[in-house]
């Protein structure tokens, strides 16, 4: 228990959104509106960094992003924990 806070501090969670593949179904924004929003026919990650055609964002907590990623019909939401792919 003593190191759990340290582990949380060291844990790196990351969202990568493959924006060109997004079909704008709105599922991610409906499930996790604190991290996702719709703009026209695409979803976007709030306060993300654009790298090429992808949006990247580091997270402190997963929230409902795993459920959002699993709901994506074209699998264009990728989640990583310490570099290991979760979804």
Question: Which of 8-16, 26-34, 58-66, 79-87 is the region at the interface with ligand SF4 (rule: CB under 6 A)?
Answer: 26-34
Interface positions, 42-81, toward ligand SF4 (CB under 6 A): 43, 71-74, 76-77
Q: Is 30 in the site for ligand SF4 (CB under 6 A)?
A: no
Report how far residue 79's alpha carbon sits from residue 76's, in angstroms, rounded to the nearest whole number.
10
Q: Is 33 in the site for ligand SF4 (CB under 6 A)?
A: no
Whole-angstrom CA distances from 49 to 4, 8, 56, 58 are: 29, 22, 5, 9
The residues pairing with 76 across neighbouring beta strands, listed in sequence order, are: none
Binding site for ligand SF4 (CB under 6 A): 22-28, 43, 71-74, 76-77
């Amino acid at each position: 228990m003593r190191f759990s806070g340290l582990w949380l501090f060291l844990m790196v969670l990351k969202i990568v959104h493959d924006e060109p593949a997004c079909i704008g179904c709105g599922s991610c924004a409906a499930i996790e509106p604190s991290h996702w929003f719709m703009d026209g026919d695409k979803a976007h990650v709030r306060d993300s960094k654009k790298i090429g055609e992808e949006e990247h964002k580091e997270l402190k907590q997963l929230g409902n992003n795993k459920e959002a990623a699993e709901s994506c019909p074209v699998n264009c939401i990728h989640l990583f924990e310490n570099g290991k792919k979760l979804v």
